[in-house]
Structure 1
Amino acid sequence: MQPRHGPRRPSPHTWPSRGETHAPPGKSPRMDEEQARRWLATAVDEARAGLAEGGIPIGAALYGADGTLLGRGRNRRVQDGDPSAHGETAAFRAAGRQRSYRGTTMVTTLSPCWYCSGLVRQFGISRVVVGEAETFHGGHDWLAEHGVEVVVLDDPGCVALMREFIAARPELWHEDIGEE
């Protein structure tokens, strides 16, 4: 059976080279790769913690416009028995109420699913940093089409973490992405 969320598909966007920023038309990229990778380290720590707990290794962090870490979290669907406990939603919840989410950056180890992409759009999160979009193609091009700055890092560590998990626990991975 061919997974519907497999490797990255061709996109209507011209995707940047590793570590470059893809800004929506009319907007100039503002995030450099060094800062994106520093912030990604927080999400990777969360992903590893989730894996150590027996969960799915997806981590996320929400940063304020000034670079302050507002919240961090990991996928806890398995640990909590909660299908809505995704890494991005956990980071968002940990950040607490904010007057506005404009200018904030959601950093995630894996391309965000449609559920988490909707959260980004609903609350006006301005930028998403994606650790990798190779093992799962989520909603990041849709986000870019709707004005969200997207930075795809294609981080080898994130790719390896997910590939190893998928090989070891394919049934859990398919449950997480809604495949049978």
Structure 2
Amino acid sequence: MDDAKGLAIAFEEAKASYEEGGVPGETSALYNSGRLPAKAYQGSTMYTTLSPCDMCTGACLLYGIARVVIGENKNFLGGEGYLRQRGVEVVVVDDAECKGLMDKFIAEKPELWNEDIGVEERVYSKEGIKAQG
């Protein structure tokens, strides 16, 4: 599968998750694929609309994901460095639709966003930590 198609599928899943209240896509994808041994994922590519959080980064490493394609990392710079350090190929597409969906999610559901990234009253970004209102 090419990256554009994989990311398009991830984006559709992210839109559905947005409507349902938000669940980390990487762990949801692994869960929904069924009970497979970790070796079934080795060498595969994970497509995600947002830079993976620490939990999803760990899942990628645990399952031997070889490549992670990220839609955008402006809103949140997750475990990309750690993935690279552990030998995972990381590709950042900088997709405007992915960024727009995350901007909307953060603006409309700040409590859920902060819960998702494990902080209270702060938002992490490439620009650093910003205190909210």
TM-score (norm 2): 0.82
The one of 36, 40, 45 equivalent to 2:7 is 40
The Cα offsets for residues 102-122 of structure 1, whole Å up to 9 and x where unpaired, read as: 220111110000111011111
1:52 maps to: 19
Tell me the distance in 1 between the aligned counterparts of 2:14 and 2:40: 26
Tell me the distance in 1 between the aligned counterparts of 2:104 and 2:58: 28
Tell me the distance in 2 between the aligned counterparts of 1:121 and 1:175: 23
1:172 maps to: 112
Number of residue pairs matched by the alignment:
118
The one of 41, 46, 50 equivalent to 1:101 is 41
Q: Which runs of 5+ in 2 are unaligned?
A: 121-133
1:28-177 matches, within 5 Å, as 35-53=2-20, 55-56=21-22, 75=23, 86-96=24-34, 97-98=36-37, 99-177=39-117
Tell me the distance in 2 between the aligned counterparts of 1:90 and 1:173: 17
- Name the larger-Rg structure: 1
| 3-state SS, counterpart of residue 72 of structure 2 | coil
Moved over 6 A (4+): none
AA matched with 1:38: K
The Cα offsets for residues 68-104 of structure 1, whole Å up to 9 and x where unpaired, read as: xxxxxxx1xxxxxxxxxx2111101222314432220
Q: Which moved more, 1:158-167 or 1:97-106?
A: 97-106
The Cα offsets for residues 33-74 of structure 1, whole Å up to 9 and x where unpaired, read as: x92111001111111111222x13xxxxxxxxxxxxxxxxxx
TM-score (norm 1): 0.62
Percent of residue pairs bearing the same amino acid type: 50
| Structure holding more helix per residue | 2
Tell me the distance in 2 between the aligned counterparts of 1:44 and 1:179: 24
RMSD: 1.5
